[in-house]
Each structure stands twice: as C-alpha cells, then as structure tokens.
C-alpha cells in the first residue's frame, strides 16, 4: 500500500517539466479563442501537479483539488466573501441551468460562470490523469509526441505561430524522458559508485542529444516553404495568387498591412443599449502606404476628468441631428482602451473603473483611455512647473454611458458644399503613395465622368463598388498582393474579392485621386438586436464578427460624413433628400455591365442584416422524460456498482499489479495483499503478515504461495538488499498465478 514519503528531487523535476509541457497546450488559447487570461489555468496545472506529487493517496487528492478549484472560481468570478453561501448558490444555479447547452455545444449561450467552472473541472481531471500516466507510470513518450503534433497542427492550419513552442516542447519533452530514465536506472543500480556513473553518463548523453539537435535545427540553412497555406490549397482555387495567413476577425489597432483571409469569430465583445442604431466609431487613419493605413503625427489633448468634459462639433456641423444615448457593457473576454461611440461624441459618463483619464486625438477623434493621472515637473528657464497628465498605462473600460448625436445629412447642403477645402485638410487627406498605379486614377475618372460635384462623385464610386457586380464580398478565399504590389490596385483589377477593408480602402484612395479629401475609419457595425428595455431602447449584441471599416468624406462647411462602400453592409447614416433643381437631376452613373447577373456573395451577411430586427427565439430545453431516464440509468448504475464493488476493486487492483511490472518487488507485493484483503478478509490491527496469512481460510496451495511471497518480502524489507534475479523471477510467476486465481 502507499506510504507517505517525501518526494525525491527527480520527482519534482519531472513535475516541473510536465508543467512546462502543459503550458505549451495553454498558450494558443489566448490567441485562437476568446480566452482573456491564462493564469487561472496555470494555477490549476501547477496545483494539481504539486498535490499529486506530495500526496500518495489518490482518494485524498480529489477533495483537496476540488476545494482549491472552488477557491479559484471565487477569486476570479465573484466579489462576495468566500465563506458566504450566496456565491455557491449562484455557481450551482448557473451550472444546472447551462448544463443542457453543453449537450448541444451551445457555448455562446452559456454564462461566463458555467463555462469557466466546467472547463476548469475538465482541466483538473485531465491533468490528474496525466500525472498518473506520466509521473507515476512513466509513460511520457506519447504525451511528448502528442504535444509536438498539437503544436505542428496549430502552426500549419491555424493563424498561430508555434515555431518557438515546438522547439521548447522538444526540449522539455526530451528532458522529461531523460529524468524518467534516470529514475529507472537509479532503481536498478544498487551501489552508490555505479549509480553515480550511470547518472553522469545518462545526463551527458541526453544533454548532447538536445544541444546538437536544437543547434542543427536552428543553424542549418532552410528553404522557403513552397506551400504557404495548405488549407487554401486543399479547399479552394486561388488563381495562382499568394494566399495570406488565416487571421481571426476582430478589432485591432494594427492596420499597417491589410488583406488576407480571416476566420469568422462569434465571440461577444459588448452589449449596447441605445435609442438609435448606428456604427460604433473607434478610430480613423489618414496615411495610405500602399499596403495598409497609418497615422500621421497626431495632436493630443489630455482629459483628466472625462465625466465633466464635453465635445462639440468634432466631426460635423450644420445639419439636423438626432440625440443618441447609449450604454455599453463589455461582457466578453475582450476590453479595449478605446472608447467606441455612435455618430459624434458629446459626453462620456458612469464609466468603470472610475479612475479613467483620456488622451484625446483631436485630428482623428479617437479616445484612448489611461489608468489615472500623474504629475510631472517641467523646468522652464529657472522655474519649475508641475504638470498633471494622464498616466502612461492604458486602461480597459468595463462599461460606460455615452451622449452623442448622429446627423440627418442634407443632400442639398453636401451637393452645394463645393471644393473650397482648407489647406490643412488638403495636405493631410489627399496623400497618396508615389507608387500608386495610374490605372487606379483612370478607373476613378471613368466611373465619375458624368458626375459634376464631389458629392455625385462620392456616390458614383460608392455605388460602383457596392453594386456593379464586379467585386465579391469574401472572407476566406482572399489572396494577398505580391511583394511590391499596391493593395487597392490588386483588389480593383486582379483579385476582385475581399471584405470591408478592401472596399473602404479602395473607395478612399479612388476619391483621393479625384482630389476629394477622405480618411479610413474603423470600429464596429451596429450588431444584432436581441431585445428592448423598459424605455423601448434597443439592446444590441456586438461581436468580433461585427468589426468593420468604412470611409469618411470631408465637405467644406460641414465636416466629415461617413459612407459605406462594402456591398453587404447598410450604412445607418440618414440622408434628407431635399435637393430640388429646375433641371433634371443627373443620375449617378454606373458602368455598362450588359447582362451581368447579381453576384452570389455567399457569406449570408445580407440575410443576417434583414433578420437583425428579430428577437431571438426560445431557448432549447431537454424534456423531463429524458432527464428522468438519465437519472434512472445513473441510479441503476450506482446500485449495480455498489453490489459489484468487490469485483470492481479486484479488477482495479489486478490492473495496477499488471502496470507495476517494472517496479520493485515490495510494491507489487503490497498491491497483491490489498487484493487478498478485498477477496477474503481485512488484516487486523497489530497483526503481522505471517499471522494474517495463517489465519486466512484458503486452499493449501494458495496459502503456500502467500507464505513464500511473504518470506521474500520480509527478506527484502529487513535484509536491506535487493532480491536476486532468480528469486525475483520465481516470485513474479507466483504473483501472476495468484492474481489469476483470486476472485471475489
């Protein structure tokens, strides 16, 4: 039976290496899933390993692990005191309510508490089994191989760079196998001198293999991959165009290189309650580089108390407007240091955490949130001056309320706005790279040849990209430009397929070639309506898949007006068509397309937009008859298991004895005696092994075998020496004969 003993150094080293391998399994979760933080999973992994190494009794470890898991769930998900029962009741209620959703893999509708609790429990059980197999049974090779295979698959088929993880896993895995080998070798070497020699030779050989393998792999010349994206190669034709790395859709501040395919992601970002459906503006950028967008040097304003600050006419003016009140609550794992707002922002209030300060980009109308404020000392001549500014650390808000206004754009006003652009607007928002191919401008001129005013040209290009039928909305089969090829030129003339970044960037660049100031804007689409509140405000769910980009065009005397170039999105900006002229109005031109059929956009976004006003239907529920049947089956299984508990216990002990073939004789003998106690009678307190064997009512041949094995055990324990090989072979044969004969 197990004896409580102090773990050896090699056991701790093995546990550490197993933990490092487990970390490689967890690292990709943060990039490929909606997991926000990983430290709770690291705590579970380390805690299970420490408990399993310290506590030799398996039946005792599970309650300890379960208590630790409850503590971790309380620390990460609940604010109530630990020793109160309210949070336990809430945890139990969430699990009971959400368990039916697990059967249908409906993870999105589960509560955050249920998902974390169930995943943490599954992780705890999985790592417990791994510690038994890898640390106790020394079966680590399969896990090392599986880890390498897992990382290679992620690196090949998903947007995750696992190259460093593959090397680390190789080192950790080889060291784990080496330590496991050490443990076995030291048990076979009885003399201290021999043991030291074996350890030294094994250590030297293992370190040489690791060093040489990693060194050659790192330093050897490598040929470039001839198969950049096996998924695109296997599933779709790319017309010999290079295919980009598959990314996950979502809001990102890095737009220096646009394009390439992406995976749709349904992760919830925030829930908004608002009286007006609108785009959620995050930021704008003004420098087109030929491959993406960057910002010119911005002008920042420090706002130490955003709750008291008011913004006026930052985007547009001179139009009728509608007041918008919105409340944003970030429910998903992602929070941002950027404030998203509809239309033109006026005020931010009721934000949490409350220590927020803001750095406001006055040129791009972006609000970047910082954690509190700091005081700096500036020296001006011979005097010192203290200046209070926002802290340099970014802060992610959990919730905030907004006051804003959206325009009702007068078509007459923007048509008559003219081209008297301020000099600073011309210098900043007509920029184009010198490498832009001339045919982009030629296409823009062809599309707008019948348009007279900037507004008519804007509408002509917008309609051309949205409705001409030449350009397909696509997210997966999206080739990227060749090295040195312009992003817009590649989309307009070569690939002719892409998503919002392609359409919006192309519209902005085409308008700039016509000397119309534009800029590229990013944020989120309105989202999906899921209900209304008591004031009849719409409740919208905004997910990663709703990340979006569009165009803002400058009109003299009025400011920036948004336009939508992407074919599967409908701009929520209202227009008042009040233009009246004495002459027939010139229609906005479209190219002659002949009999071109309406394209199949294939992504379902139009259907989603049309169904956006529908409230989600009723939730799935399992019939009570099914629940009753499951309970009945579990009850029957429990009764059968209780009645056959001896059979189960003997089967389990027999399995353990077979798995302990390579261990020392005394350990296998202890397992055999536990099996004998299960079949016949328990050993009494103070009773020696010989007295116990003589007391048992068993056939004479079995008693003789047990006496022989008991004598060998006593010699090994009290003689302080290992059994000879011949005696060990005989004893193993006797043990095998007994375990075949022992039945309840």
> Using an 8 Å Cβ cutoff, are 324 and 274 in contact?
yes
Same domain, 476 and 392: yes
- CA-wise closest residue to 242 among 494, 473, 599: 494
What distances in angstroms separate CA 329 from CA 336, 350, 397, 539, one per listed residue? 12, 11, 9, 11
State the DSSP code for 416.
T
- CA-wise closest residue to 74 among 64, 62, 65, 83: 83
Same domain, 352 and 495: yes
HSE value, Cβ hemisphere, 13 Å, CA-based, for 390: 22
Three-state SS string over 43-68 comes to HHHHHHHHHHHHCCCHHHHHHHHHHH
pLDDT attached to residue 106 = 67
Tokens of 120: 């943490």
**Residue 620: inside a domain:** no
As averages over each run of 10 residues, the pLDDT of the chain (744 residues) reads 58 86 85 72 87 77 84 79 80 79 69 80 86 80 86 79 83 82 60 54 62 59 49 42 53 84 84 93 93 86 91 90 93 84 93 91 91 75 76 87 93 92 93 94 94 93 89 86 90 91 94 95 92 92 91 94 88 78 45 41 38 39 57 72 68 65 69 78 79 78 79 73 71 76 66
CATH, residue 310? 3.10.620.30
pLDDT attached to residue 524 = 93
The phi and psi torsions of 346 (rounded to 5 degrees) equal -120, -40
pLDDT attached to residue 575 = 86
Same domain, 264 and 388: yes
**Residue 448: inside a domain:** yes
- Rounded CA-CA distance 502/258 in Å is 8
Tokens of 4: 């409580």
**Residue 279: inside a domain:** yes
> Using an 8 Å Cβ cutoff, are 244 and 259 in contact?
yes
Boundary (domain end) residue, out of 528, 554, 576? 576
What distances in angstroms separate CA 325 from CA 154, 276, 316, one per listed residue? 43, 8, 18
**Residue 238: inside a domain:** no
DSSP per-residue string spanning 105-156: T-GGGS-HHHHHHHHHHHHHHHHHHHIIIIIIS---HHHHHHHHHHHHHHHH
518-532 tens-digit pLDDT: 999 999 999 999 999
**Residue 554: inside a domain:** yes
Residues in the chain: 744
Contacts of 75 (CB under 8 A, 6+ apart): none
Tokens of 448: 């707008």
DSSP per-residue string spanning 480-543: -PPTT--HHHHIIIII-EE-HHHHHHHHHHHHHHTT--EEEEEEE---EEEEE-TT--EEEEEE
379-422 tens-digit pLDDT: 666 677 778 888 878 888 989 999 999 999 999 999 999 999 99
Token match 């062809």: residue?
446
- Tell me the Ramachandran region of residue 317: left when phi exceeds 0, alpha when psi lies from -120 to 50, beta otherwise: beta
Same domain, 205 and 304: no
Same domain, 431 and 477: yes
44 exposure class (CB count in 10 Å sphere: 0-12, 13-18, 19+): buried
Secondary-structure breakdown of the chain: helix, strand, coil percentages, each rounded to the nearest 5: 45, 15, 35
> Using an 8 Å Cβ cutoff, are 327 and 391 in contact?
no
Same domain, 94 and 169: yes
**Residue 215: inside a domain:** yes
Contacts of 260 (CB under 8 A, 6+ apart): 243, 244, 245, 246, 247, 478, 480
Same domain, 416 and 510: yes
Own/partner long-range contacts of 415-420 (Cβ < 8 Å, ≥24 apart): 415/453, 415/455, 415/456, 415/579, 416/453, 417/454, 417/455, 417/555, 417/556, 417/557, 417/558, 418/454, 418/556, 419/454, 419/515, 419/556, 420/556
> Using an 8 Å Cβ cutoff, are 339 and 369 in contact?
yes
Contacts of 124 (CB under 8 A, 6+ apart): 44, 48, 65, 66, 69
**Residue 242: inside a domain:** no
Same domain, 261 and 187: no
Owning domain of residue 722: 635-741
DSSP per-residue string spanning 3-37: ---PPPHHHHHHHHHHHHHHHHHHHHHHHHSS---
Same domain, 183 and 270: no
**Residue 597: inside a domain:** no
Same domain, 477 and 338: yes
- CA-wise closest residue to 261 among 244, 274, 276: 244
The phi and psi torsions of 740 (rounded to 5 degrees) equal -75, -30
- Rounded CA-CA distance 266/195 in Å is 58
Same domain, 298 and 153: no
How many structural domains is the chain composed of? Answer: 3
Type and span of the H or E element at 438: helix 438-447
Contacts of 674 (CB under 8 A, 6+ apart): 1, 653
Q: What stretches of 289-372 adopt beta strand conformation (E)?
A: 293-294, 300-303, 320-329, 341-342, 344-352, 356-361, 366-371
Same domain, 392 and 521: yes
């Amino acid at each position: 039976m197990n004896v409580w003993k102090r773990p050896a150094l090699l056991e701790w080293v093995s546990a550490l290496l197993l933990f490092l391998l487990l970390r490689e399994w967890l690292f990709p979760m943060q990039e490929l899933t909606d997991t926000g933080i990983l430290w709770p999973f690291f705590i579970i992994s380390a805690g299970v390993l420490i408990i399993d190494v310290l506590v030799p009794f398996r039946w005792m470890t599970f309650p300890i692990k379960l208590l630790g898991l409850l503590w971790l769930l309380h620390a990460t998900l609940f604010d109530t005191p630990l020793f109160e029962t309210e949070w336990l009741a809430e945890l139990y209620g969430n699990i009971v309510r959400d368990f039916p959703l697990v059967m249908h893999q409906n993870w999105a509708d589960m509560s955050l508490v249920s998902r974390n609790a169930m995943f943490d429990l599954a992780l705890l059980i999985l790592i417990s089994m791994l510690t038994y197999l890898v640390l106790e049974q020394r079966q680590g090779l399969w896990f090392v191989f599986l880890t390498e295979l897992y990382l290679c698959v992620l690196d090949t088929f998903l947007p995750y760079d696992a190259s460093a993880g593959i090397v680390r896993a190789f080192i950790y895995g080889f060291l784990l196998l080496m330590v496991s080998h050490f443990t076995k070798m030291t048990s076979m070497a009885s003399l201290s001198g021999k043991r030291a020699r074996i350890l030294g030779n094994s250590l030297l050989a293992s370190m040489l293999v690791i060093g040489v393998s990693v060194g050659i792999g790192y330093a050897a010349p490598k040929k470039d991959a001839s198969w950049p994206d096996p998924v695109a190669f296997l599933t779709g034709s790319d017309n010999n165009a290079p295919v980009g790395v598959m990314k996950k859709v979502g809001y990102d501040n890095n737009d220096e290189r646009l394009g390439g395919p992406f995976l749709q992601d349904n992760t919830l970002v925030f829930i908004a309650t608002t009286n007006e459906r609108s785009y959620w503006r995050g930021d704008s950028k003004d420098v087109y580089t030929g491959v993406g967008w960057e910002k010119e040097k911005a002008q920042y304003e420090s706002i130490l108390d955003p709750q008291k600050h008011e913004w006026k006419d930052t985007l547009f003016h001179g139009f009728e407007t509608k007041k918008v009140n919105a409340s944003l609550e970030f429910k998903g794992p992602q929070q941002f240091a950027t404030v998203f707002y509809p239309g033109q922002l006026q005020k931010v209030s009721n934000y949490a955490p409350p220590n927020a300060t803001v750095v406001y980009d006055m040129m791009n109308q972006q609000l970047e949130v910082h954690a509190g404020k700091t005081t700096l000392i500036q020296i001006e001549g011979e005097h010192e001056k203290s200046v209070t500014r926002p802290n340099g650390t970014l802060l992610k808000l959990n919730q905030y309320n907004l006051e804003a206004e959206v325009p009702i754009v007068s078509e007459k006003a923007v048509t008559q706005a003219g081209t008297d652009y301020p000099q600073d607007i011309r210098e900043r928002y007509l920029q184009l790279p010198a490498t832009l191919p001339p045919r982009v401008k030629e296409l823009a001129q062809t599309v707008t040849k019948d348009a007279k005013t900037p507004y008519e040209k804007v509408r002509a290009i917008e309609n051309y990209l949205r409705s001409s039928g030449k350009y397909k909305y696509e997210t997966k089969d999206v080739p990227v430009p060749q090295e040195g090829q312009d992003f817009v030129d590649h989309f307009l003339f070569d690939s002719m397929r892409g998503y919002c970044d392609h359409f919006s960037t192309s519209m902005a660049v085409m308008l700039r070639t016509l000397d119309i100031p534009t800029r590229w804007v990013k944020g989120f689409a309105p989202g999906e309506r899921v209900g209304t509140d008591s004031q009849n405000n719409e409740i919208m769910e905004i997910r990663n898949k709703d990340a979006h980009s569009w165009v803002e065009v400058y009109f003299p005397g009025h400011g920036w007006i948004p336009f939508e170039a992407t074919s599967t999105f409908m701009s929520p900006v209202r227009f008042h068509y009040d233009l009246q002229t004495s002459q027939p109005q010139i229609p906005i031109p479209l190219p002659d397309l002949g009999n071109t059929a309406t394209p199949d956009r294939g992504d379902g976004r139009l259907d989603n937009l049309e169904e956006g006003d529908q409230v989600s239907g009723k939730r799935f529920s399992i019939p009570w008859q099914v629940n009753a049947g499951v309970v009945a089956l579990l009850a029957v299984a429990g009764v059968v298991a209780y009645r056959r508990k001896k059979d189960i216990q003997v089967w389990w002990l027999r399995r353990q004895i077979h798995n302990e073939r390579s261990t020392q004789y005394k350990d296998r003998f202890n397992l055999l005696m536990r099996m004998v106690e299960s079949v016949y009678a328990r050993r009494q307190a103070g009773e020696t092994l010989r007295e116990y064997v003589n007391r048992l009512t068993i056939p004479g041949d079995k008693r003789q075998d047990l006496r022989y094995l008991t004598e060998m055990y006593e010699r090994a324990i009290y003689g302080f020496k290992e059994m000879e090989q011949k005696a060990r072979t005989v004893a193993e044969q006797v043990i095998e004969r007994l375990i075949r004969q022992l039945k309840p």
